Amino acid sequence: MKYEEYHDRGMMKWQGMILSDHRAVLESESSVYRESYQAPIQQEPDEIEATLKRAYKSRYRVWLALNQLDSNQEYIERKGRVLGFSKGLVLIEKKGIPFDAIRCVEFIDSMPFWKQ
């Protein structure tokens, strides 16, 4: 067979290569990850608001956990800069998030972006 005649099927040729042993290893590693997950602690609303206002004034990036679970039963997380506040919402990277939906807030970095 000449090289020019060979037609590579891409990923199709590898789909049958995942054996039950491979699948068992993947499932065991994912279960170890799930067991090590620790839910973020629920902060007081005053503490959340104070942290967000400080991040807004200082232009710090924040990490926050919402009071919503994803498909893996882990709290949904968001990262970004606080862009402002509006009628019970906080704007994080152009997304409005209700204050009462926030479980926990932490600073990602402690230096303003212009000093990095």
SS3 content of the chain, % helix, strand, coil (to 5): 40, 30, 30
Whether 60 and 112 have beta carbons less than 8 Å apart is answered as yes
pLDDT in tens, 2-39: 566 776 666 566 656 667 777 788 788 777 666 677 78
pLDDT in tens, 51-105: 999 999 988 899 999 999 888 788 999 999 999 998 889 999 888 999 999 999 9
Q: Give the Cα separation of 9 and 93 in Å (integer).
A: 41
63 - beta bridge partners? 79, 106
